[in-house]
Amino acid sequence: MRVSEQLTKTLREVPHDSEGGNQELLVRGGFIRQLTSGVYSYLPLGNRVIRKISQIVREEMDRAGGQEISMPVIQPKDMWDRQPASGPSRTEAMGDVLFKLKDRKGRDMVLLRVREFIMKDLYSFDADAEGMDVSYRKMANAYRAIFTRSGLRFIVIQADSGAIGGKASQEFIAITEAGEDDAMICDRCDYAANREKAEFVRTEFEREPEETLEEVYTPNCMSISDLAVFLNIPESRAMKTVCYVAGGRMVLAVVRGDLEINEVKLSNTLYHEGVNAADLHLATAEELVRDGIVAGFTSPLNKDEYVLIVDDPSLKLGNNFVAGANRVDYHFKNVNYLRDFRVDVWEDIASAYDGSTCVRCGGTLHAVRGSEVGHIFKLGTKYSELFDATYLDAEGVAHPILMGCYGIGVGRIMATAVEQSHDEKGIIWPFSIAPYHVALVGLDLEKEENRQAAEQLYADLNTAGVEVLYDDRTETAGVKFNDADLIGLPIRAVVSKRSLKNGGIELKLRSQKESRIVPLTEAVQVIRNEIRQGIAESV
Amino acid sequence: MRVSEQLTKTLREVPHDSEGGNQELLVRGGFIRQLTSGVYSYLPLGNRVIRKISQIVREEMDRAGGQEISMPVIQPKDMWDRQPASGPSRTEAMGDVLFKLKDRKGRDMVLLRVREFIMKDLYSFDADAEGMDVSYRKMANAYRAIFTRSGLRFIVIQADSGAIGGKASQEFIAITEAGEDDAMICDRCDYAANREKAEFVRTEFEREPEETLEEVYTPNCMSISDLAVFLNIPESRAMKTVCYVAGGRMVLAVVRGDLEINEVKLSNTLYHEGVNAADLHLATAEELVRDGIVAGFTSPLNKDEYVLIVDDPSLKLGNNFVAGANRVDYHFKNVNYLRDFRVDVWEDIASAYDGSTCVRCGGTLHAVRGSEVGHIFKLGTKYSELFDATYLDAEGVAHPILMGCYGIGVGRIMATAVEQSHDEKGIIWPFSIAPYHVALVGLDLEKEENRQAAEQLYADLNTAGVEVLYDDRTETAGVKFNDADLIGLPIRAVVSKRSLKNGGIELKLRSQKESRIVPLTEAVQVIRNEIRQGIAESV
């Protein structure tokens, strides 16, 4: 492709609606264009990247025995409304991430997801749990192959199944500071989990003899740390009680003062207890007043009428806690379970933190930021029971099918690849997903000799099947080099008066600083070798 | 692919919601499945056909210098509402073929087209009309190549530009009786046009001396043919007046009694006259009464207050017409233009008919039914002026860009290929777009010797890169042959006790009746030759 004939140009200015990071580089490089907030067109360069990634995904899915189908975006709403006897319908559970609309005949339809994105989904169907496990492992391996081949640095973590549900789930997280996901990774074993899901060992402290409950005046103690300083106790000696409302009921969630409540764990706990947690939210001032709770000074004492959820490991490892007295500026000391308060549910509802202890090996968990590029689930029979999807065994008896589901965000791979691999000048594409492999930069083209050399190399590279973007414009060297760096093709080949005088073309990898001169007669072969090596390195 | 591992099965029964024709064959063969009326999923076989067609389209577009992009389905409505100073907005002009919905922030959005389908669009942008013509011809040639390579029998016809507008347009019509489009083709020259657009020569008849206008009693004459019999005149001596309403105005359309009014031509004529014809419809009984018009006995006489559109060629070729007297059971004889009525617009508003005369060469036009698989338009500056899309010439002066637009229905190619090529047993795929090239049917597989031969051939074909669907099930020969015929792969290779005894495999083309024995050692080579030849024949 000649740059002079390309549909799009690079942008020298940062667009006014730039979101920074990979989005800005992709927009400035002419890969994508924003149509409206969060909605993009893929321009020729971006479209090539997406097609390269799609091809990697397709090859690995084919290799793993996948069979490709494509389904409509718009579907009858009633398909989404089949539901178990109780609980919210799926259109309700999905909330406003589903577009709802009517077709010409007035039938209710839904349009999958609010924002358009390109993704690959795969479903596995097995007769038993062992088969499901085999399919799941096969897909986990295929996913590793896909992200590796796409040049991503990623980790695989235990994840929460969320609204999709099921028995087990793993996320593939591309590591990047700009990511929106938090993962905890052990520095000793291979335990890694989403922060929403991560388990950890609570630190212990010495149990004391149980002492008498005592109400104390605690002025100006608006936080656990205020309280700890005022009473000269470690924060882990305080009880942290947070009031939520879910399904119309007041829920008191309690953890030790040195920990934070994890709303995803809390929500899952509520679901398991049969409470609809779809509308889980911090209790409002009105809701607190209605239920006679004093904000900032709550505790589980004398709260039998509410749902009490308590973080099991943290509050069983200690006693004589300090807890709110439900009266402004007063707390109880020496609060003890059984004697002073009762609990509905003991469950892990606290968030792991950077430096917490691994439940598997006692190593240390570290927080890592990243971006989810894939997610796999063992669904079990959740959906097959809902939709009566059964198979007949050898005796002709029907059983529900065991399902798995597996999703990859194709556009997300492009975005995180850029996020992981760029410098201040622009993108540095991995060979495997680069839109072209070679930026052929022709300089001093007004001289027939130089133009002929550049045109000949362009023709030779095309003949050899090398994907090359040839900058044949009448622009300065500075403009052309800046554009080449911004677009970020892995190999830059310069044909100029100077390079020819020095004996050939000037070859440089985008990822390196040094260039070298390669004789014109060897250029095609050297470039093909660089490409072969570059692609091989990511596999 | 092994049939035993394939996601989908063929259906022996016709589905209860079958639409017949290609749809029924594709559903029964397991290529597509209906989700809801008019909305289909592409199953693995159908998906492979779509990918084959897409690859042909992509190759021809690349060859013609196309640059591929992909754009969101959902777009802000205001983009569609930019419009010229007068006339309906585009969202109004598109009517209910556009989905309208709101995004999460309440912004108005549109979703392109009501029914989902796969299509390729291309737009060309040129500086002048000559450039636009070059682009248009280049695309017309690429389209011919695409449909030829896809194995379709098609014609290219002059078409009406419809709501998209522009200066010239051609449709690519795949010929099939089940199609929804009517085309007229000349049997002598290469003139071919959509029936909505086709021009034709009106038959002449002898002019008479003008005679005196006379009102006559014509009882029981409810049609032109009744009238012709009653008055003993040819139908071409009568005037046929049909009352329409468009943009709130009564429009009288008049043609000679032997012709039919063409509503598309009429609508275009109204647009050119500045009348909004978006709601063009036959006048209702109420509208006729309101305007004092007697249904069935109307004529242009004394109708100065309405818009009169008269078919130019037909009514200028004659005089002393019979026309309605606007009174039940009465007509005028000897009606003549100028003396008896005035006309607002003379224009071609009559439909060509099977057997009418070609305007180009005097040959005969024949009606052909078909299905539109592609449509190309010279748009000129219609949209570039609307969106201020300009280029700067060498002097820095801005000019509107000249555009062309070009669309192919990818799913439609699959459907019409099946419509054109099937028999009572099932589909007969062209080699170029067949989901696999070979149906390998293994019989008597309970015998190890037979199974080994079949498995070995399957492995060898895969190794040779041949696309093969291997029926390895434990089904009868009848079931397997019926399925192979229904699915319609171009080559059937049978490995059975009998074929092995006869010296190898039994090879048969789906399009032919005869089979032949090919030695096992030559099978791969013979099959590869058949495929090469089969694909070459369509190019």
Q: What residue has token string 């089949």? A: A82
% of residues, chain A, pLDDT over 70? 92
ipTM above 0.85, yes or no: no
Partner A contacted by B69 (CB < 8 A)? yes
Taking CB atoms and an 8 Å cutoff, what residues of chain A touch B43? 69
More confident position, A504 or A82: A504
**Are A101 and B114 a contacting pair at CB < 8 A?**
no
Q: Which tens digits make up the pLDDT trace of A91-118?
A: 666 565 566 666 666 667 668 554 567 8
Report pTM.
0.83
Taking CB atoms and an 8 Å cutoff, what residues of chain B touch A101? 99-101, 111
Taking CB atoms and an 8 Å cutoff, what residues of chain B touch A17? none
- Own/partner contacts of A5-12, CB < 8 Å, gap of 24 or more, are A5/B65, A6/A30, A6/A44, A6/A469, A6/B67, A7/A43, A7/A44, A7/B67, A7/B69, A8/A33, A8/A43, A8/A44, A8/A45, A10/A482, A10/A483, A10/A486, A10/A487
The partner residue sitting opposite A44, judged by closest CB among B43, B67, B111, is B67
pLDDT > 80? residue A216: yes
pLDDT > 70? residue A395: yes
Q: Which tens digits make up the pLDDT trace of A130-146?
A: 999 999 999 999 999 99
Q: Distance from CA of residue B38 to its chain's centroid?
A: 17
The tokens for B338 are: 């100028």
Taking CB atoms and an 8 Å cutoff, what residues of chain B touch A72? 35, 39-41, 116
Give the minimum alpha-carbon distance from A72 to chain B in angstroms, rounded to a whole number: 6
Taking CB atoms and an 8 Å cutoff, what residues of chain A touch B76? 35-36
E-state strands within B317-364: 321-324, 330-335, 345-347
> How many CA atoms are closer than 13 Å to the CA of B111, on its beta-carbon side?
24
B interface test, pick of A62, A67, A474 with most B CB neighbours within 10 Å: A67
Q: Which tens digits make up the pLDDT trace of A254-265?
A: 999 999 999 999
Per-residue pLDDT at A95: 60
Give the minimum alpha-carbon distance from A1 to chain B in angstroms, rounded to a whole number: 9
Per-residue pLDDT at A104: 60
Partner B contacted by A394 (CB < 8 A)? no
**Are A44 and B68 a contacting pair at CB < 8 A?**
yes
More confident position, A305 or A191: A191
Partner A contacted by B479 (CB < 8 A)? no
- The sign of the CA dihedral B431, B434, B438, B444 is negative
The tokens for A451 are: 């133009």
Q: Which tens digits make up the pLDDT trace of B473-491?
A: 999 999 999 999 999 999 9
Q: What is the CA radius of gyration of chain A?
A: 30
**Are A116 and B73 a contacting pair at CB < 8 A?**
yes
User: How would you classify residue A321: left for phi > 0, otherwise alpha for psi between -120 and 50, otherwise beta?
Assistant: beta
Per-residue pLDDT at A344: 85
A471 with A441: CB under 8 angstroms?
yes
Give the minimum alpha-carbon distance from A44 to chain B in angstroms, rounded to a whole number: 5
Assign A180 a pLDDT band (cuts: 50, 70, 90).
confident
**Are B69 and A39 a contacting pair at CB < 8 A?**
no
The tokens for A51 are: 């097609």
CA-nearest residue of chain A to B100?
A: A101
E-state strands within A257-320: 281-282, 307-311
**Are B44 and A104 a contacting pair at CB < 8 A?**
no
Per-residue pLDDT at A89: 62
**Are B70 and A116 a contacting pair at CB < 8 A?**
no
**Are B39 and A74 a contacting pair at CB < 8 A?**
yes
The partner residue sitting opposite A73, judged by closest CB among B1, B73, B107, is B73
Q: Which tens digits make up the pLDDT trace of A414-435?
A: 999 999 999 999 999 999 999 9
Residues A521-533, mean pLDDT to the nearest whole number: 97
The tokens for B9 are: 């099965």
**Are B69 and A7 a contacting pair at CB < 8 A?**
yes
Q: Which tens digits make up the pLDDT trace of A227-270?
A: 999 999 999 999 999 999 998 889 999 999 999 999 999 998 99
Least confident of A364-368, A514-518, B200-204, B376-380: B200-204
Q: Which residues of B475-504 are buried (b: 16+ CB within 10 A; e: fewer)?
A: beeeebbbbbbbbbbbbbbbbbeebbeeeb
pLDDT > 80? residue A8: yes
Nearest to B368 by CA among B185, B160, B199: B185
Q: What is the pLDDT along chain B (539 residues), one digit of tens a residue?
A: 999 999 888 998 887 777 778 899 999 999 999 887 777 899 999 999 999 999 999 999 999 999 999 888 777 777 777 655 445 566 666 565 566 666 666 667 668 554 567 888 999 999 999 999 999 999 999 999 999 999 999 999 988 766 666 778 999 999 999 888 889 999 999 999 988 889 999 887 778 889 999 999 999 988 999 999 999 999 999 999 999 999 888 999 999 999 999 999 999 899 888 888 888 999 999 999 998 899 889 988 888 778 778 777 788 888 899 999 999 999 999 999 888 988 888 899 999 999 999 999 999 999 999 999 999 999 999 889 988 899 999 999 999 999 999 999 999 999 999 999 999 999 999 999 999 999 999 999 999 999 999 999 999 999 999 999 999 999 999 999 999 999 999 999 999 999 999 999 999 999 999 999 999 999 999 999 999 999 998 77
CA distance B222 to B220: 6
Q: What are phi and psi of A132, to 5 degrees?
A: -60, -40
Per-residue pLDDT at A114: 46
A to B CB pairs, distance under 8 Å: 91
Using CA atoms, how far residue A363 sits from A184, A186, A260, B102, in Å, is 12, 6, 21, 50
CA distance A198 to A353: 9
Q: What are phi and psi of A47, to 5 degrees?
A: -60, -35
**Average model confidence (pLDDT) for chain A?**
89
Q: What are phi and psi of A41, to 5 degrees?
A: -95, 145
